[in-house]
Structure 1
Amino acid sequence: MFNGIGNVDVAAVTAAFGTVDVVARSRAAGAACPDCGRFSDRVHDSYQRRLKDLPLGEQSVVIRLTVRRFICGAADCPRRTFAEPFAQLTTPHARFTTRLNHALERLGLALAGRAGARLAAQLGLGAGRMTMLRSGLFRCAVRWQMSQ
């Protein structure tokens, strides 16, 4: 079901009221600091992210991902704490998974605005018109930048 997220353990899956909730956490013992690259397994804190994913059948899917914050042990590193990355699953601060984001980008590029939002609602993706515009414009900008 979740292709390409081998570093994530699924703890529980529940289905109720048209929504599938997936509770997940990382399998990794630690992570590398994004600034200095030093590996750390000292957990500072954890928090939960709520990510929308592609629908399963006619049910929406929400991934409740527990993210740990680690302490960087390097004395000369300017970063004191950092969150573990989930590069295959999502990007930092995103509310959608990478799979859902790619689908929305394609819809936004093809239809944009209200038409894209209507089709997204029919497909069970549930994105508003401004999300469709942003997704389509982002994809256009990336394509234009690659052609230059």
Structure 2
Amino acid sequence: MKRLKYFPTQDYSFLLDENHYVYDHVENEDSLHIYIKSREHGCCCPVCGKMSHKLHATYMRKFQDTPIRCKQTFLHANVYKYDCENPECECKVFMEDLPFAKASQVRTDALNTLVLAVSMFLSNEGASKVLSLLGVQISNDTIQRLYDRIEFIDNPDVEEIGVDDVAIRKGQTYATVIYDLRDHHLIALLDGRDGEPLKEWLKSHNKVRLVARDRASAYASAINEILPDCMQVADRFHLLQNLLEYMKDIFKEEMPTKLYIQNGKVSESAPDKILKEKTPDNAILDSLHYDNTSPRNSDGNELFYDNKKHNLNSAQYQHHKEMREKNSN
């Protein structure tokens, strides 16, 4: 008997973490249910921060996770509650923190990220329909609630920022975005793009020493007024945009409006037209043979077709003939 060199694995650390494992799963026609269990491990109290290993009880939580094979996927987690071992702490019992979902959350962090990524380029209703095809059941109102919970954490000590405008509704509503140049995360979203909201924001962020901005004069004026010693630079996108515009102007001035290529050479004047009569290939015509024999199928049997003959002497055809002659005159 040949010995197998491949063996099934029970390691699901790539799916969860070292403190949780999968012990069962149930697959239906349109859904997949994965059952996971917490291993005994220590957990820090969310109030006092002291590590606790004293188990209080277990409880069940259910999450919708990213779909597998376009099936709606759920995680059924059997997790622990802990007793805080600090007698002076106000919190007596707390629930363990899960690495894949926040407290009181019915979707995993990975699924929320997927939902926000899809809805970023679609409307909430459109994203809901696209996600349903992938195996995620979520309504447009729930997607909006996810957006409403997003918070921009401002940093009053930031020193290097980027400023640009974005369209909330193209052609109608615009906003000013401010992000940290070091890690490019968003720290502020201001209404309008006329520079006034940026002035108010800069007044409370006087440690800013470098601003990467677009070419809008409103932003330049606001920065010069509030932080005259701040260095302003153009970001890479707008530098490249400036370069392309200058190159277009150069090409328009230096290059003629029309270029002609003949025999691999460029000419500024149009080449003379050479009239050449197109003749059929006689060799191809000679290879074609037509006759009036009836068509036959692969078995050699004759194929019969309904050959409808038109009565050119009928009133309808005579009327059409008169109309063609009338229009031609």
TM range (shorter): 0.7 to 0.9
* Greater RCO (CA < 8 Å, at least 6 residues apart): 1
* Pairwise CA distance, 1:137: 4.2
Answer with 1 or 2: which has the greater Rg: 2
Partners of 1:80 and 1:33 in 2: how far apart? 9
Q: Percent identity?
A: 19
Any gaps of 5 or more consecutive residues in structure 1?
none
Q: Which runs of 5+ in 2 are unaligned?
A: 1-11, 154-176, 179-185, 189-329
Q: Which residue of 2 aligns with 1:54?
A: 66
Greater Cα shift, 76-85 or 57-66: 57-66
Kindly indicate whether the alpha-carbon contact (under 8 Å) linking 2:20 and 2:38 is maintained by their aligned counterparts in 1. yes
Alignment RMSD: 2.2
Instruction: Report what 1:38 is aligned to.
Output: 50
Is 2:77 the partner of 1:65? Answer: yes
- TM-score, structure 2 length as denominator? 0.41
- Could you tell me how far 1:43 is from its partner in structure 2? 1.6
Q: Which of the pair is proportionally richer in strand? A: 1
CA distance in 2 between partners of 1:120 and 1:147 (Å):
29
Asked if 2 retains the 8 angstrom alpha-carbon contact of 1:32 and 1:40, the reply is yes
Residue 23 and residue 92 in structure 1: after superposition, are their counterparts in 2 closer, same or farther (change >3 A)?
same
Question: What amino acid is the match of 1:59?
Answer: K
Deviations 1:43-87 (A, max 9, x none): 22211000011111132111000121111021110101000101x
How many Å separate the matches in 2 of 1:106 and 1:116? 9
Q: Give SS of 1:94's match.
A: coil
Whether 2:100 is the aligned partner of 1:89: answer yes
Give the structure-1-normalised TM-score. 0.86
Report the residue type matching 1:83 in the other structure: M
Shift of 1:18: 2.1
Q: Is the 8 A contact 1:29 1:41 kept in 2?
A: yes
Q: Which residue is 1:76 aligned to?
A: 88
Partners of 1:96 and 1:133 lie apart in 2 by 15
Match of 2:25 in 1: 13
In structure 1, the partner of 2:140 is 129
CA positional deviation for 1:108:
2.7
Q: Distance in 1 between matches of 2:30 and 2:15?
A: 25
- Equivalent in 86, 92, 111 of residue 122 of structure 2: 111
Letter in 1 for 2:86: A
Q: Is the 8 A contact 1:108 1:133 kept in 2?
A: no
